[in-house]
Amino acid sequence: MDGNIERVAWDHPAAAGYVRAAGAAAALLGTAKDHAHAVAGMDLSGLGTLGNGFAAAWAAAWSAHGGHLQTASALTGAYGQAITTWGTVLGGVDTESAATIAGAVPGTDQIQA
C-alpha cells in the first residue's frame, strides 16, 4: 500500500445486471448440460460391431462435455450469488457507518462541517 485510502465503489445497478445475466447464463448452461447428456445417450446401436468403439467414444465425450457445462453453470450461478452477498455486506457496512457518523453530532442526523 502506498498510504492512500482505498475505496470500494459499488455500482448497485451494474451488480444487479450482472446477477440477472449470471442467472440466465447458468440456466442456459444447465439446459445445454441436459442436452449434452441426451446426446451422450443416443442410440448408436445401428453402427454395428465396427462402430462400437466410436459409440463408446461418442458417449464418453458428450458425457464429459455435459459435466463441463454443469460445472460452468454452477460456477456462474455461484459467482452471481457472491456478487449479491458482497453487495449486501457493503450495504450493511454503509448503514452502520452512516449510523455511527449521524450519532457523532448529538441532536442532529446531519453532519456539520
- Any idea what DSSP says for residue 4? P
Q: Which pTM was predicted?
A: 0.69
Helix axes 12-40, 52-102, angle to 10 degrees: 160
Please give the grid coordinates belonging to residue 91.
450495504
Looking at residue 1, its pLDDT comes to 43
**Per-residue pLDDT, 21:** 95
pLDDT tens digits, 6-63: 676 788 889 999 999 999 999 999 999 999 999 999 999 898 888 999 999 999 999 9
Residue 76 CA to its chain's centroid (Å): 3
Question: What is the per-residue pLDDT across 57-96, written as a single tens digit (0 to 9) for each?
Answer: 999 999 999 999 999 999 999 999 999 998 888 877 777 7
Q: What is the average per-residue pLDDT within 100-104?
A: 69
Instruction: Please give the grid coordinates belonging to residue 62.
Output: 458428450
